[in-house]
Structure 1
């Protein structure tokens, strides 16, 4: 770390909160990006397998997006939702059509946290209840309400909440009391747990909020069909289903455009939230809901920055690029290759418990070598070792014991091979370090 980087880190610590998490023992300042690569303030180049937390969805400095931003900025940067906005209407039309939700309405926010907060406001108002179901190990944001439905305790700093939250089994397939069951039996057990929980409530639960693939939770997922089975139970009680697609949307999982489509037995969710990748780095989030749910609020509202002309222009350009270049198909093909390569590496390393995921959303769970004990230490060492070799990945999971891999969806086969080899070398080093060799 150079003197300039040390000074910037010291300035950061002097004026920003102590709980504002930074990666790495010596944090990076990223100063430039192009395609799937980024450069730090010292001129070092890295293959980016995390994309600013799955937010640089297509590529760094994607020309279509940068041109759209510059062109819109030359006309008008901001107006607020008090005025008609052609880019906002156009992007809302595209997202409503793609969502699968009938008679859909779209409300734009500036982040996934705000999107989930808005979805909770809609659901609790519509149902006249503050009871919410959420998944164990989940993450839905950093606001007061979304922390209150976050099941991953590493990211839930307070037990105080305006919501009464009940946590349901099912989001972590390979651990917990049902891990040894087959998929059908696993789903049946989770449904039975849900039904039992509902029998013990006072009634009138507002909604289930769930990530189809848990992001911060380490890219864990239930068997396909779990949420469809949950939906049958929820529908009998009139309980809404909110699908948190902040990390799983826009084709990242490869098999589907939305994560909920892996659980589509009873149709789309009642509400869908999105953010991150749609803006390719610009601050866009939002909620899609059928009209009767979206329009249930009894008071007026606006958004000062949600639906900004400049971010909407970026979102339109980015979405067009995703669809025109079949980046969902690329995620399926290149992601499948990358998972195969990483599983081959893991087969010879007892520090790796599991390589999981789909498309370009891949988790690598690390344990103390020779055991099934979660190892946040191994994950931290692997994060540093990968960086030293020129690869950036993320970290998450229960206690922070999993590596999170979410590169831009334009990742090439050659880049996937390069990243797999760099990570393999890092994991071999970690294993040797932990066993003392």
Structure 2
């Protein structure tokens, strides 16, 4: 155990998890690579939980942060803030939401918390529909709508939460159905559920469930849900904390795979937009955003420094078509990983979209999740010079792969080779 690890244990909560048997201290990064305190270099396929979206130490972002910090670090939302207004204008225009308003927070948890506040105030209801296997953050309200037992730390809740089928395509009671029948069955389940409620405020859903193991429904499910929600006046909140900004390759926002009847009422975002700086936010049409009838400000949301980083990062992403790169390089990477997975009886499925890929592991010859195998592969990948993540439903048996969106073809090939060796070595 290193001295820093011992110090960490002495002052940190026991529930503050660390990856690896011998935890890693990262000291610096560049591009798609990071280095640890012992000088080891790693190809980063997790990006600080899908947060380093463009690249480590991206010059355009580091310069924007430095320049702004040299002028003014903090002011709060009580004063006009040019970088915040400029980033809000760009985000509103990209959102697809008519007459959009944007409120900045410091995290995805806080963004989802704000979305729940807006929805419950707007509808006059504390009843929320959420998806099974979902994850929406660490706050009291966000935990109360998290449908993943491993991350739901308390059953006490300020909200009445009802869980809907559909977030997981390949497990559960509808897994064997065709996509069309899967959607029909999930819609019927939603309609039946609403027949037993008194008027829900909103449905909150991740287009691709992140912590849940990069699972997703068939395209069009949420559009079909939306038709039912609209009949009941229920809002649709799309949690884009992990799926936003082009990571899925095919779309800029995850909800656009379900866009037959327009954008969500509320979109939440965080992680990638700041490229490591603490930026989150909520986008909603004006009618919903303006429904609060009491004062509300943010001390740290919309900070001049984080907004400068977000502006530079978003500009780089758009100017270099990183969404297109995620589609092209992500497509190649998932092909390579499927070829790797086909050689192992422990790989149940390789799934994903763009640069958001999951490898689900099971005990060979069964359909039982294998969290111990996922932990072993995580260690073996690190030994080979590759950092990945893990997640899943109740069992953490899915390897999560989400590199920065500037990943090159050569790096994708290298990462797939290391991961193949790690699977062979660990399983």
Tell me how far apart the structure 2 counterparts of residues 369 and 42 of structure 1 sit (CA, whole Å): 36
Q: What displacement does 1:369 show? A: 1.4
Q: Secondary structure at the match of 2:77?
A: coil
Tell me how far apart the structure 2 counterparts of residues 377 and 338 of structure 1 sit (CA, whole Å): 25
Residues 85-139 of structure 1, C-alpha deviation per residue, up to 9 Å, x if partnerless?
Answer: 0000000000000000000000000000000000000000000000000000000
Q: What displacement does 1:421 show? A: 0.3
Tell me how far apart the structure 2 counterparts of residues 430 and 21 of structure 1 sit (CA, whole Å): 22
Q: What displacement does 1:344 show? A: 0.5
Residues 38-89 of structure 1, C-alpha deviation per residue, up to 9 Å, x if partnerless?
Answer: 0000000000000000000000000000000000001000000000000000
Tell me how far apart the structure 2 counterparts of residues 82 and 72 of structure 1 sit (CA, whole Å): 18
**1:216-235 to 2 correspondence within 5 Å?**
216-235=211-230
2:279 paired residue among 269, 277, 284:
284
Q: What displacement does 1:233 show? A: 0.2
Q: What displacement does 1:370 show? A: 1.8
1:109 paired residue among 86, 101, 105:
105
Q: What is aligned with 1:375? A: 370
Q: What is aligned with 1:357? A: 352
Give every structure 1 segment of 4 or more consecutive aligned residues whose post-TM-superposition deviation is greater than 2 Å.
none
Tell me how far apart the structure 2 counterparts of residues 348 and 281 of structure 1 sit (CA, whole Å): 36
Q: What is aligned with 1:434? A: none
Q: Secondary structure at the match of 2:348?
A: strand
Tell me how far apart the structure 2 counterparts of residues 73 and 297 of structure 1 sit (CA, whole Å): 33
For the pair 1:87 / 2:83, whether they are aligned, the reply is: yes
Q: Normalised by the size of structure 2, how large is the TM-score? A: 0.99
Q: What is aligned with 2:255? A: 260
Tell me how far apart the structure 2 counterparts of residues 266 and 148 of structure 1 sit (CA, whole Å): 29
Q: What is aligned with 1:392? A: 387
Residues 219-267 of structure 1, C-alpha deviation per residue, up to 9 Å, x if partnerless?
Answer: 0000000000000000000000000000000000000000000000110
2:35 paired residue among 17, 39, 42:
39
Aligned-pair Cα RMSD in Å: 0.5
Q: Secondary structure at the match of 2:161?
A: strand
Tell me how far apart the structure 2 counterparts of residues 358 and 315 of structure 1 sit (CA, whole Å): 24
Tell me how far apart the structure 2 counterparts of residues 194 and 234 of structure 1 sit (CA, whole Å): 9
Tell me how far apart the structure 1 counterparts of residues 8 and 417 of structure 2 sit (CA, whole Å): 34
Residues 127-162 of structure 1, C-alpha deviation per residue, up to 9 Å, x if partnerless?
Answer: 000000000000000000000000011001100000
Q: Secondary structure at the match of 1:411?
A: coil
Tell me how far apart the structure 2 counterparts of residues 207 and 295 of structure 1 sit (CA, whole Å): 17
Structure 1 residue ranges without an equivalent (≥5): 432-437
1:75 paired residue among 71, 78, 81:
71
Q: What displacement does 1:21 show? A: 1.2
For the pair 1:27 / 2:27, whether they are aligned, the reply is: no
Q: Secondary structure at the match of 1:300?
A: coil
Q: Normalised by the size of structure 1, how large is the TM-score? A: 0.97
**1:235-250 to 2 correspondence within 5 Å?**
235-250=230-245
